[in-house]
A and B are shown apart, each in its own frame.
Chain A
Amino acid sequence: MTPQGRILGIGPTDNTSDQRTPRQRLRLIPEQARSSFVPVVPARFITRSHEWDMTRTAPDRPRAAGVPIEVTGTVRTQSGRPLANALLEIWSANHYGRYRHVEDHSGLKLDENHLGLGRVLTDEDGRYKFWAISPGAYLARPDIGRWRPKHIHMSISGGSSRLITQMYFPDEPNNAADPMAILMGGAFERNIGKPRDVAGADVDEAFDFDIVMGGRNATFFE
């Protein structure tokens, strides 16, 4: 079978997806140029030491409103190699579904104890850990009553691996109608955090979320 580039899907009920998704079939990269399409991100140790705890704005500040959670996991390539020193950039809405971002004009409630921003690095074994407030769902399409389910955004970069994704939560009523979840189909379950015991941590809920960096780029220099 002759390989072909993909045609990207358009998220149902997602106006922005309709506006921005390329309509042409993606082009195949000529073999001679393939390696030029493999960005290598230099290690960036720009996290601040308290940023792993997103349940407060600083270590001496009170907890934000809502349910504090712990998220842990391992970042690996598809061949199973742990990705050490990868940078995770994390952002999420507060308990009320509001981002502390100048472009979030939803009018939902802000929380003076919540930034919703964090950066952590994976350790030598590819492990990461952070605390966050379990984010609120928010109404993405008021005209048709379509919500964005609870989710935490994560951007992972390290070496030739690059991924922007979202962690969703199990058994959420809004998961099924989410445009991106619909595009993922049966693979959506990979993007759902797995509940586990909090194991003594100062949080109310805990989730495992192992991340696998897909594609040939991630493994190019293995």
Chain B
Amino acid sequence: MSDAASNLLAPTNEDTCGPYFPIYFADPALEDLTRVDPGLVGQAAGTPIILRGRVLDRHGELANGAILEFWQANAKGLYRTPETEGHPDIDPWFHGYGRLRSASGAYEFKTILPGATDGRAPHITITIFSDGISRIVTQMFFSDHAGNDADPVLQSVGDDAPKLIARHDGRTASGAEVYVFDIIMAGAGETPFFDDLES
């Protein structure tokens, strides 16, 4: 995109969040999307899942201080955006945006399994911020979903598709399905990342 050739304002540069993103800004409501608040009646529809894994650097070491942001559709496969406002399949107790900061580089995110829709297999977009980088973006999928084979994102990365698919790892005593998804920021086994500026 050539800004010089258009009337667009020149964007402020993205920059690293550095190592000291304030833990003070943590918001428990964004780390568990299955319910609105522990003291309130109101809970997202769908299958509760725990998505856990590690963010690793190119030497295989944990990337400490990483911030992960999640974006996903509700159990019926509908994203909550200005375009879907008022849609009958909107879940009033699910907005689909999550965020956490991992001190160690290992993470755990509680949410519901997103639904499949519009030719897309269930998926969650993950944005990663950390020291040393500005912003990188990927999208993860769930093992054993018949729709994975036909998903355009998985197809687009070819032989790298398995790197975007979380492994199912059983069910917790409280009934949440567990999925494991490691993110390799660089080097051998590097996770495919996507360009939302040039695409």
Contacts and interface: CB of A to CB of B under 8 A. Distances in A.
A117 B23 CA distance: 10
Interface in B120-144: 120, 123, 125, 127, 129-137, 139
B131 A16 contact: yes
A191 B15 contact: yes
A212 B10 contact: yes
B187 A5 contact: no
Interface size class of chain A, counting residues whose CB lies under 8 Å from the partner chain: 35 or more
B196 A217 contact: yes
Interface residues of B, number: 75
Contacts of A5: 194-195, 198-199
Nearest to A166: B15
Contacts, number: 230
A155 to B, nearest CB: 7
Contacts of A165: 12-15
A76 B9 contact: yes
A22 B11 contact: no
A37 B197 CA distance: 11
Given A21-B132, A21-B185, A190-B12, A34 B199 contact: yes
Interface string B176-192: 00000000011100111
A32 B10 contact: no
B41 interface: no
B103 interface: yes
Contact of A6 (B96, B131, B185, B197): B197
Contacts of B159: none
Interface in B57-98: 57-59, 61, 63-65, 69, 71, 73, 79-83, 95-97
Contacts of B136: 8, 22
B146 interface: no
B153 interface: yes
Is the contact region of chain A dominated by helix, strand, or loop, or is it mixed? mixed
Nearest to B131: A16
B190 to A, nearest CB: 6
Contacts of A214: 11-12, 14, 197
Interface string B95-132: 11100000100000000000000011001010101111
A33 interface: yes
Interface string B44-55: 000000000000
Contacts of B18: 153, 166
Interface in B149-199: 151-153, 155-157, 185-187, 190-199
B126 to A, nearest CB: 10
B133 A20 contact: yes
